[in-house]
Amino acid sequence: MRINMSNWRRYLYFIIGVIFGLEWSNIFRPSLRSRLIYALIRVLHKQNVPDEIEKQRGYLDKLQQLVPPPLKLEAHPVNANGVPCEWVLPSEEISTQVVFYLHGGAYVTRMPVLHRNFLHHMAQSSQAQFLMVDYRLAPEFPFPAALADAITAYEWLLEQGWQTDQILFAGDSAGGGLTMATLLALRDLGKPLPAGVILISPWTDLAGTGESLISLKDEDVLLDWNNLQECAADYAAGESLSHPWVSPLYADFHGLPDTLIVVGGNEILMDDSTRLAVRMAEDGVEVEMKIEPYMGHVYPALGPANPEAQRALNLIADFIRKC
């Protein structure tokens, strides 16, 4: 019996076409693209992250070098009263809104190439411009160095003529926690606050009391609490891990601006977001929270090619525009 290979090819192409059609119509939960990305991360990333901070920094530097040259955006550095920062701008318009951004990295590392691309996607979606703050890192510069840099850079932004109703704060991971700490410090010091806040997978409890640290340990392909615990100790440097300017989860939130929280449903820091949202709402803050099932830490950074990330970028852009 002869097999008609042309028919088999037609069937194969048809099946592939159906699968791609369903994927692009967002039928799959999670998307096939997310499944592939997280499978690769599980194999290639988590088991290879070194424990020592200097080796972690070298690992992340090598990771950034893998970004193809066409995707490496030009930096636009600026000195904000001694604090190095850089502008990330939308390509089409000069916005009347600015997002004051504090990057993640567990308070001990930075990834400017990757964050620059992420912020560019958000700038394109929202048509706002972003100011990314290159705050000092632990263990060389422990708490409150990063907080002091954030406050200095924000005061510089106000000196440039930006009004508080044009400014939003945002941050991811440790940068999300630092964003909250900066807001709390500004409020306590009687300084003017921005119009809104965006937190992406914020790390708000350095004491590590969230149930998701245990319940989602096997699902999280990016984070490891043992490593984060060491970073927390390096950052706090003897200060109480429940100090509200170290772990904002333990703060009083009265008087803070409207806040959007975006977090993945498969990350060990999920409870840092869910508990924060509840406590902020109890203190009278208007809070909107999006938990994306199956997604990992700072999943919007996966970019527009990922459907879950694109939905998050759209949500963030809508929030920026309405503030």
12 Cβ contact list (under 8 Å, min separation 6): none
Annotated active-site residue 286? The verdict is no
Q: Of these residues, 267, 273, 292, 308, which one is catalytic?
A: 267
What secondary structure does DSSP assign to 114-146, as a single string? HHHHHHHHHHHHH--EEEEE----TTTS-TTHH
CB 56 within 8 A of CB 108: yes
Name the β-bridge partners of 198. Answer: 170, 260
Annotated active-site residue 6? The verdict is no
* Phi, psi (rounded to 5 degrees) for 197: -140, 135
Q: Of these residues, 31, 95, 125, 173, which one is catalytic?
A: 173
| Cα–Cα nearest to 85, from 62, 119, 40 | 119
Residue 297, token pair as written in the block? 């830490």
Annotated active-site residue 120? The verdict is no
Q: Of these residues, 31, 126, 297, 308, which one is catalytic?
A: 297
Q: Which residue has the tokens 């096997």?
A: 218
| Cα–Cα nearest to 196, from 81, 300, 292, 101 | 101
Active site residues per annotation: 173, 267, 297
